[in-house]
Structures are given as structure tokens and as C-alpha cells.
Amino acid sequence: MLRSLLIANLFMAAAALLRAGTLQDFGTEFMVMAAFCEPILIASLAVLCLARRLLHSMGYATSLLAILVFEVVLALIAANLGTNLLPGRVGLSLVQVALLALFVTTCILAYFDLRARALSPAVAEARIQALQARIRPHFLYNSINAVLSLMRSEPRRAERALEDMADLFRVLMADNRTLAPIANEVELARQYLAIESLRLGDRLKVSWRIDGMPGDALVPPLVLQPLVENAVYHGIEPSPQGGEIAIDVGVSAGQLHMTLTNPLPGETRHTAGNKMALANIRERLQLHFDAEASMKSEVIDGTYRVTIRMPYLTAQA
């Protein structure tokens, strides 16, 4: 959606440049055109958004035709209104308006088609697979070591730890290309933390604030666990006293948000690994949600905080 707005506006700017002889005129031309074009754009986006399920059911070719016809009609209506409101301004005939609308709409649709081809299915899937969060080898060996130490003294705990590890690695090795419910992600993070707390004992404290979390919200798999792993690695392990990791998940204004905070003891080494994990998540968010998801990380008073926002989707929608 953001992209179609942007493209249409670029076209408008180009047209304004063509019509205006000088740079000064460009500004005014652009404003007039915007007054004309933006309502069309916004109206069409709104209608298309509402009608997207209908369009989906129509098949690709029919829906394309429907969109084209709709855009042309909309443009003609707006042109009519425009001539009435601003007499003498519009130098285009109705045929010209129709052709222009057809052209811009086709360009936008072609762009999305190209983009979809470039990103999916083969290319995007391969990339998502390549991007799948890789767990630190450090974690694997340390956990095996911790389990070994429990074997003799506490066989029950060792069993549970191995079960958690099996679940964790099942997910890591799985095909993680499609979105999955966030409840699974939270469970996975819990299992991961259970294994880590074996090693770290009281040093690792976790507080979950997920009362407002809709368990059915769909998220890219392995979006939470790598963040939690980072928090343990950078926030807990470097401190003899340890600290608390807080995980916050909720919905506001149709957006799902996840916030994770951890202390930042001493100087931060290993930043390269950290950036890699974050870049990996950022790229996967982009592949799934394009510009409608965001991730930011910040340091506030010795605390490190990562926030992710993405559209709130469920399997039914």
C-alpha cells in the first residue's frame, strides 16, 4: 500500500515537471495535481483494500481487469469534478484522463507483479531458509555439558532438559518459511530459557508480560528466540550477579508489538554477532511484511531494548 502511494506520487512529480517550465512552477503544479490525484489514490486504495477478498476469489486475470476498469472510472469521475471545481485548469480531455489512469494503474500493477516474482516463491523461500536464525554453537555445547552434569545427580531434570532441547532443535531444523502463531514462539522461548537457566541458575531472571497477547497472531517463526538468546548472551552471561530479561507482547492499534529488554553489563563486546542476529530478523520481517513491520533497538540507562512491530494477522483473515 505504501509503495503504490509512493509510485503514484512519483508519477505525479514527473508529470508536474513536464508541465511546468521552471522549478518555481513545479511546486504549484505539484500541489494542484496532488489535490486532484490524492483523493483518487486514497479512495481506490480503500476500496481495493475492502474488496480484496472478492478480488482474490475472482482469479488473477478478472481481478486485474476489474481493477483497471475501476481505476479508469474513478479517474473520470474525479476529472469531471475537477473541471467543475477548477474551471480552465484542466487541459486534458476525458479520453486523455482515462488513458493516463490506465497507464499509471498498469505500471503499478506491473511493478507489484515483478516484485512478487522476484520475491516469491522460489527466491524468497530460498532466502528465508538461508536466513533462518542460526543458533550459536556455544549454546549447543554448553547445554549438552549442563545436561551431562545433571545425569548422575538429577536424572529427572536431565530428562526434561533433553526434551526441551529436542523441541528447540525440531523447530530450528523445521521448514520455517510460513508464518506461525505467536503462542508457539513464546513456548519455544520458554523452553530455550529453561535450558539456559540450567546453566545460569539464579543469575537468569525472566519476566513475561504477555496477558494482552493474542496467541493466534501470526509471526515469522524464530522471531523471538534469537532475541532472547541475544539477551542472555549479552545481558546475563557477562555479569556475575546476572539480571532480568523482560518480554512484553501485546496488540495496539491493529499492530502486534514485542518488546524485549535486558541489562547491559560492562562494555559490550561481541557486537558483531548481535548485529547479525538483528539484521537476520529485520530481513525476514521485511520479506514477510514489507514496509509494514519495523524493528528498532536502543540503549536507555544501561538497558538494551528491542521493539518489533508488525501487522496483527490471524489465520482466519
Number of residues that bind another protein (CB under 8 A): 24
* Options 28, 96, 149, 268; binder of another protein; rule CB under 8 A: 149
Total Cβ atoms within 10 A of residue 84: 9
Decide: is 142 part of the binding site for another protein (CB under 8 A). Answer: yes
Among residue numbers 170 through 229, which ones bind another protein (CB under 8 A)?
198-201
**Omega before 121 within 30 of 0, i.e. cis:** yes
CA nearest neighbour of 246 among 315, 301, 189, 311: 189
- DSSP strand pairing (243-252 vs 204-209): parallel
Decide: is 264 part of the binding site for another protein (CB under 8 A). Answer: no
- Comparing CB distances to another protein, the nearer of 20 and 200 is 200
Give the torsion sign (CA, 271, 188, 135, 310): negative
Decide: is 239 part of the binding site for another protein (CB under 8 A). Answer: yes
Nearest approach in angstroms of CB 6 to another protein is: 43
Residue-by-residue DSSP string for 21-77? SSHHHHHHHHHHHHHHHHHHHHHHHHHHHHTHHHHHHH-HHHHHHHHHHHHHHHHHH
Tell me if 276 sits within 8 A of 265, measured CB to CB: no
Give kind and range of the element (H or E) at residue 150. helix 137-153
Decide: is 137 part of the binding site for another protein (CB under 8 A). Answer: yes
Nearest approach in angstroms of CB 126 to another protein is: 27
- Comparing CB distances to another protein, the nearer of 133 and 186 is 133
Nearest approach in angstroms of CB 152 to another protein is: 6
- Comparing CB distances to another protein, the nearer of 204 and 217 is 204
* Options 39, 214, 238, 250; binder of another protein; rule CB under 8 A: 238
Q: Which stretch binds another protein (CB under 8 A): 78-86, 142-150, 169-177, 178-186?
A: 142-150
- Comparing CB distances to another protein, the nearer of 88 and 137 is 137
Please list the residues that pair with 163 across neighbouring strands.
none
Decide: is 272 part of the binding site for another protein (CB under 8 A). Answer: no
- Comparing CB distances to another protein, the nearer of 59 and 137 is 137
Residue-by-residue DSSP string for 217-250? -EE-TTSSHHHHHHHIIIIITT-SS-EEEEEEEE
In terms of phi and psi (left: phi > 0; alpha: psi -120 to 50; beta: otherwise), the region of 266 is left
Decide: is 54 part of the binding site for another protein (CB under 8 A). Answer: no
Nearest approach in angstroms of CB 188 to another protein is: 22
Nearest approach in angstroms of CB 224 to another protein is: 23
Nine cell digits for residue 86:
477548477
Decide: is 273 part of the binding site for another protein (CB under 8 A). Answer: no
> Backbone phi, then psi, for 31, in 5-degree steps?
-65, -45
CA–CA gap between residue 67 and residue 47 (Å, rounded): 10
- Comparing CB distances to another protein, the nearer of 100 and 150 is 150
- Comparing CB distances to another protein, the nearer of 199 and 284 is 199
Q: Which spans of this chain sit near another protein (rule: CB under 8 A)?
A: 136-138, 140-142, 144-146, 148-150, 152-153, 198-201, 237-240, 265, 269
